[in-house]
Amino acid sequence: MAQWLNATVSETIYWTSNLFSIKAKTGRLPFIAGQFVRLAVEGPEGRIQRAYSLVNPPDSEHQEFLISTVADGLLSPLLQQLTPGDTLGISQPATGFFILDEVPDGDNLWLIATGTGIGPYLSMLATAEPYRRFAHIILVHSVSRAADLAYKDLIEGFVAQHPGQLHYQPVVTREPHPGALQDRIPNLIASHQLQQQCGQLLNPKSQVMLCGNPQMITDTKALLDSMGLKKNLRRTPGNITVEQYW
Binding site for ligand NAP (CB under 6 A): 68, 70, 114-116, 142-144, 173-174, 184-186, 212-213, 215-216, 219, 245-246
Q: Rounded to the nearest whole angstrom, what is the least distance from the CB of residue 105 to ligand NAP in the complex? A: 27
Q: Rounded to the nearest whole angstrom, what is the least distance from the CB of residue 66 to ligand NAP in the complex? A: 9
Closest residue to ligand NAP using C-beta atoms: 115
Yes or no: say if 130 and 241 are a contact pair by the CB < 8 Å rule.
no
Q: Rounded to the nearest whole angstrom, what is the least distance from the CB of residue 133 to ligand NAP in the complex? A: 27
CB-nearer residue toward ligand NAP: 134 or 213: 213
Say how far apart CA 139 and CA 118 lie, in whole Å: 9
CB-nearer residue toward ligand NAP: 96 or 237: 96
Q: Rounded to the nearest whole angstrom, what is the least distance from the CB of residue 215 to ligand NAP in the complex? A: 3
Peptide bond into 93 cis (omega under 30): yes
CB-nearer residue toward ligand NAP: 106 or 115: 115
Q: Rounded to the nearest whole angstrom, what is the least distance from the CB of residue 114 to ligand NAP in the complex? A: 3
Q: Rounded to the nearest whole angstrom, what is the least distance from the CB of residue 47 to ligand NAP in the complex? A: 19
CB-nearer residue toward ligand NAP: 130 or 219: 219
CB-nearer residue toward ligand NAP: 192 or 205: 192
CB-nearer residue toward ligand NAP: 6 or 246: 246
